[in-house]
Amino acid sequence: MIIGFDIGGTTIKGAAVSSLDAVGPVRRLPTPGNDFEAFAAALRSVIAENETKPNCVAIAIAGVIDPDSRRAICANIPCVHGRTIEADLEKALGLPVVIANDADCFALAEAVAGAGRGHPIVFGTILGTGVGGGLVARGKLINASGGFAGEWGHGPVAAMLAGDPPVAIPRLRCGCGLEGCLDATVSARGMERLHAHLHNGAVLTAEAILAAWQAGDTDATRTIGVFVDILASPLAMVVNVTGATIVPVGGGLSNSEALVAEVDRAVRARVLRRFERPLVVRGACRIEPGLIGAAILGLERAGHALRTA
């Protein structure tokens, strides 16, 4: 048995896991963002609820583990940012700890238990508050030892002209410090910024834009057309480079099946390999995919054999 956690900037979700079919009740706690001792105590409180001592603790976290320094890059949880978090938590919890990025855990969950089962290379992408991703090859997470693979949301690659007819797109500043990142342009907030840019400062939430688009609204249709055009070419390049044969999508924007289908059509028209079936699909793990991905890593660390179907 292991204890799995999915940790974001506001909420810690934890559960005991003995197999992928036996995930205990998920407990939710606020994330103590500025106090590492309180952060570790919150994890201990979940661990202590179980009579059996776990083999290890597995964590999906909204951050990256630098593969060289082993330090966490985790700006929205300041108390762990810059720490050698695996070693520090092993000391604080008295248990082996394995940690991975939450998008990586999503990709692993989809590869093992979701839409990517049976596919040799799975690129899981997140479209929501941010744009991220993870890469799984033959059932193994590329970033199993930490790293930045799959971070297609960062880098100044967003188109400066997009849509039909083409319109100029501003170089939106990203939280990483660059301008023109997909994270700033085709995240949910990016969709809202695009809509304001295209329609004289109009303020609508991403959810409202999507609802208006599906209702046939002309302005929203224009926004989604530009949004998909910006997104599809970089994602097609990711598919070409990795050889992925399935791209499960998670994050808040994946709740719109129509948007995912539109992205799929655009990406399949731009990749080198021709797919006669959907390539970009809605993620199948709709409940706690980060926790499931962390659990997979923890169960493997504890010696359980897991295979993709």
pLDDT tens-place string over residues 117-131: 999 999 999 999 999
- Does one domain contain both 81 and 163? no
**Averaged confidence pLDDT in the chain:** 94
Res 307: pLDDT: 44
Domain total of the chain: 2
Q: pLDDT tens, 19-36?
A: 888 888 899 999 999 999
Are residues 171 and 268 located together in one domain of the fold? yes
Say yes or no: 191 and 145 in one domain: yes
What is the DSSP secondary structure assignment for residue 26, as one 8-state letter? P
Structure tokens at 105: 């855990």
Say if 196 falls within a structural domain: yes
146 in a domain, yes or no? yes
pLDDT digits (tens, 9 = 90+) for 225-266: 999 999 999 999 999 999 999 999 999 999 999 999 999 999
123 within some domain: yes
Name which residue leads in pLDDT, 192 or 302.
192
Q: Which of 244, 242, 283 is nearest to 113 (CA)?
A: 283
Cβ-defined contacts of 69-73 (< 8 Å, 24+)? 70/146, 72/99
Regarding whether 154 and 95 lie in a shared domain, the answer is no
- The phi, psi pair for 89, rounded to 5°, reads -75, -35
Domain check: are 221 and 251 in the same one?
A: yes
Residue 66 shares a structural domain with residue 133:
no
Residues 295, 278 share a domain:
no
Point out which residues pair with 64 in neighbouring strands.
73
138-177 pLDDT, tens digit per residue, is 999 999 889 999 999 999 999 999 999 999 999 999 988 9
User: Residue 138: inside a domain, yes or no?
Assistant: yes
Same domain, 134 and 259: yes
Say yes or no to pLDDT of 8 above 90: yes
Burial label for 145, CB within 10 Å (0-12, 13-18, 19+), is exposed
The H-or-E segment that residue 12 falls in is strand 11-19
- Give yes or no for residue 113 having a pLDDT over 70: yes
Percent of the chain with pLDDT over 70: 98
Condensed to tens digits (0 to 9), the pLDDT of residues 89-103 reads 999 999 999 999 999
- pLDDT of 306 > 70? The answer is no
CA distance linking residue 309 with residue 307, whole number of Å: 6
Q: Do the beta carbons of residue 142 and residue 48 sit within 8 Å?
A: no
* Residue 292 covered by a domain: yes
Residue 309 has pLDDT above 50, yes or no: no
Residue at 271 is within a domain: yes
One domain for residues 239 and 291: no
- Retrieve residue 302's tokens: 């504890």
Q: What is the mean pLDDT of residues 58-62?
A: 95
The whole-number average pLDDT for the span 13-18 is 93
User: Residues of 128-139 as b/e, b for ≥16 C-beta within 10 angstroms?
Assistant: bbbbbbbbbbeb
* Contact criterion met (CB below 8 Å) for 281 and 247: yes
The parent domain of residue 55 ranges over 2-101+287-301
The enclosing domain of 24 has a CATH number of: 3.30.420.40
Does residue 136 fall inside a structural domain? yes
Buried b (16+ CB within 10 A) or exposed e, 65-98: beeeeebbebeebebbeebbbbebbbebbebbbb
Residue 304 has pLDDT above 70, yes or no: no
Q: What is the pLDDT of residue 93?
A: 96
Domain match, 79 and 168 both: no
For residues 264 and 292, membership in a common domain is answered with no
> Is residue 108 domain-resident?
no
| pLDDT reported for residue 287 | 87
The pTM for the full model equals 0.93
Q: Looking at the structure, do residues 129 and 270 belong to the same domain, yes or no? A: yes
> From residue 176, how far is each of 172, 188, 305 by CA, in Å?
11, 17, 38
